[in-house]
């Protein structure tokens, strides 16, 4: 685990969903920071403070007013504009706001420009590792923005990230997350096809995974999702709806930069089929369901 030793800081965390709730908790417990939280649903903030202490705030501006660093983890582009935009109205000059949402590089650059105009620093810092990674404090954090601001924020992000890496200027963190989602989409479809093939061929799928998982086919997805796919279990943290949102961002960016993503576009449509089957909240490994129905 990374060394997260640093002086206790006054921080705000905006957005206490599946990822944000435990991430904010690690800032309080593992980091020993003084955390003020804010969530659209006040009951979530009340549950967080009951568990971790700290303080709750009614609005992003109230939470951010006295914070040395502000973190947020919300839904989409418009959510970032609304929450970060309001928080920045109350932040002191020189304060850093770091966005752990998965959104477009365009909105990240927009928010970085707005922050600069107000004498603030904005970091786009999406994460990978899912609900389990957030709960266990072992996320991968990919960060875009000012290098000095990153250096100041990195020790706090290490409270929940085992890998926290500066990727370049504003937007670079989100672009890196897009690469991550492109690779995951292709891997999951290949894994779903392989597991479905093993079943059709009359093989012991679990035994197949034990064998090929020691060779060139090995991946995190195989280690963590192949056997649950075979067992028809899709009740994990990262939902199909969220993946479709992410792939929509990827495909929009590809249209802008000229990248050709035929497999990603196809898998996005496969996820649309899973949604059509009522699988909106199933884990992304549920691509298996359209092959075995």
Catalytic residue set: 177
Selection from 9, 138, 6, 148 nearest residue 71 by Cα: 9
Integer angstrom CA distances of residue 39 from 30, 36, 110, 276, 278? 21, 10, 23, 30, 28
Annotate 182-226 with DSSP letters as a single string. HHHHHHHHHHHHHHHHHHHTT--HHHHHHHHTTTTT--HHHHHHH
Integer angstrom CA distances of residue 87 from 99, 154, 158? 12, 20, 23
Residue 138 to residue 26: CA distance in whole angstroms: 10
Structure tokens at 70: 């502000």
Three-class secondary structure of residue 10 per DSSP: strand
Selection from 164, 113, 165, 161 nearest residue 137 by Cα: 161
Element (H, E) at 47: helix 42-52
Hey, which residues does 124 pair with through a beta bridge?
A: 99, 144
Show Cβ contacts of residue 261 under 8 Å, excluding neighbours closer than 6 positions.
182, 250, 251, 254
């Amino acid at each position: 685990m990374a060394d997260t030793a640093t002086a206790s800081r006054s921080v705000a965390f905006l957005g206490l969903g599946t990822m944000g709730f435990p991430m904010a908790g690690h800032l309080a417990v593992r980091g020993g920071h003084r955390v003020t939280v804010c969530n659209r649903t006040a009951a979530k903030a009340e549950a967080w403070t009951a568990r971790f202490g700290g303080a709750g705030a009614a609005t992003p501006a109230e939470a951010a007013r006295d914070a040395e660093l502000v973190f947020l983890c919300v839904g989409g582009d418009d959510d970032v504009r609304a929450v970060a935009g309001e928080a920045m109205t109350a932040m002191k000059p020189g304060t850093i706001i770091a966005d752990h949402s998965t959104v477009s590089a365009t909105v990240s650059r927009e928010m970085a420009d707005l922050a600069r105009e107000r004498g603030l620093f904005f970091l786009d810092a999406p994460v990978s590792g899912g609900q389990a990674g957030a709960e266990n404090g072992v996320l991968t954090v990919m960060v875009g923005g000012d290098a000095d601001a990153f250096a100041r924020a990195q020790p706090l992000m290490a409270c929940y990230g085992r890998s926290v890496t500066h990727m370049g200027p504003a937007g670079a963190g989100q672009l890196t997350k897009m690469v991550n989602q492109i690779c995951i989409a292709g891997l999951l479809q290949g894994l779903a096809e392989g597991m479905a093939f093993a079943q059709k061929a009359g093989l012991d799928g679990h035994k197949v995974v034990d064998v090929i998982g020691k060779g060139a086919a090995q991946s995190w997805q195989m280690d963590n999702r192949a056997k649950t796919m075979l067992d028809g279990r899709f009740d994990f943290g990262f939902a199909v709806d969220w993946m479709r949102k992410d792939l929509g961002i990827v495909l929009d960016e590809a249209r802008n930069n000229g990248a050709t993503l035929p497999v990603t576009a196809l898998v996005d449509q496969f996820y649309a089929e899973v949604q059509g089957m009522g699988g909106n909240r199933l884990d992304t490994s549920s691509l298996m369901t359209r092959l075995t129905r």
